[in-house]
């Protein structure tokens, strides 16, 4: 992964990149207990129905994209606006504000729709990182 970042000053055994990865994962863990996340889930709930795979009654949720319903295990609470990168101190404020957003900025997606969304965001990010890319290659970047 690219060039090595300098050591983190308060714990030089880690690179700065390692430290920010650690911080990002700790914040994401906190987000998993963030009340608006549960509220977004509740808003997408369609109530209990039979889980086709297990045969048991389970709460199901509507995917905001394909509008099919899925048991919780097969869904993901998605940030409509991605929380973005956290690589340096300057990123912290924006990252936290986007991560801990309002429940209206969250949506429930099924795994397939979530994967499609994150894949296309990744491709956009890669495309925006290449200054020589004038858009001429976007056809193959976005084709499925
Ligand atoms: Zn879906």
Whether the predicted pLDDT of 126 surpasses 90: no
Planar angle of CA 114, 117, 118, nearest 5 degrees = 85
| pLDDT score, position 5 | 86
Between 53 and 112, name the one with better pLDDT: 112
Between 28 and 141, name the one with better pLDDT: 28
Phi, psi of 6, rounded to the nearest 5 degrees:
-65, 160
Q: What is the pLDDT of residues 8-48, one digit of tens each?
A: 999 999 999 999 999 999 999 999 999 999 999 999 999 99
Planar angle of CA 28, 114, 54, nearest 5 degrees = 95
Residues with Cβ–ion distance below 5 A, ligand 1? 63, 65-66, 110, 113
* Partners of 120 in the β-ladder: none
DSSP string computed for the chain: --SPPPEETTEEEEEHHHHHHHHHHHHHHHHTT-HHHHHHHHHHEEEEEE-TTT-SEEEEEE-TTT--EEEGGGEEEEESS------SHHHHHHHHHHHT--GGGEEEEEHHHHHHHHHHHHHHHHHHH-TT--STTHHHHH--
Q: What is the mean pLDDT of residues 47-54?
A: 92
> How far does the centroid of ligand 1 lie from the alpha carbon of residue 74, in Å?
10
Nearest to 124 by CA among 66, 81, 89, 92: 81
> How far does the centroid of ligand 1 lie from the alpha carbon of residue 66, in Å?
4
Q: Which residue has the tokens 């060039």?
A: 3
| pLDDT score, position 131 | 65
> How far does the centroid of ligand 1 lie from the alpha carbon of residue 144, in Å?
17
> How far does the centroid of ligand 1 lie from the alpha carbon of residue 6, in Å?
41
Whether the predicted pLDDT of 138 surpasses 80: no
> The whole model's pTM is what?
0.80
Q: What is the mean pLDDT of residues 99-111?
A: 98
Q: What is the mean pLDDT of residues 58-79?
A: 97
HSE toward the beta carbon, residue 115, CA cutoff 13 A:
6
């Amino acid at each position: 992964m690219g060039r090595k970042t300098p050591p983190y000053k308060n714990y030089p055994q880690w690179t700065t990149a390692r430290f920010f990865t650690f911080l990002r994962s700790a914040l994401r863990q906190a987000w998993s207990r963030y009340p608006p996340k549960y509220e977004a889930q509740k808003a997408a709930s369609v109530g209990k129905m039979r889980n086709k795979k297990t045969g048991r009654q389970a709460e199901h949720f509507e995917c905001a994209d394909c509008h099919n319903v899925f048991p919780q295990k097969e869904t993901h609470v998605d940030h409509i606006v991605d929380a973005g990168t956290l690589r340096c101190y300057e990123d912290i404020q924006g990252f936290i504000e986007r991560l801990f957003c309002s429940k209206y900025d969250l949506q429930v997606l099924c795994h397939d729709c979530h994967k499609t969304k994150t894949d296309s965001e990744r491709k956009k990010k890669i495309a925006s990182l290449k200054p020589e890319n004038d858009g001429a290659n976007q056809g193959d970047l976005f084709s499925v």
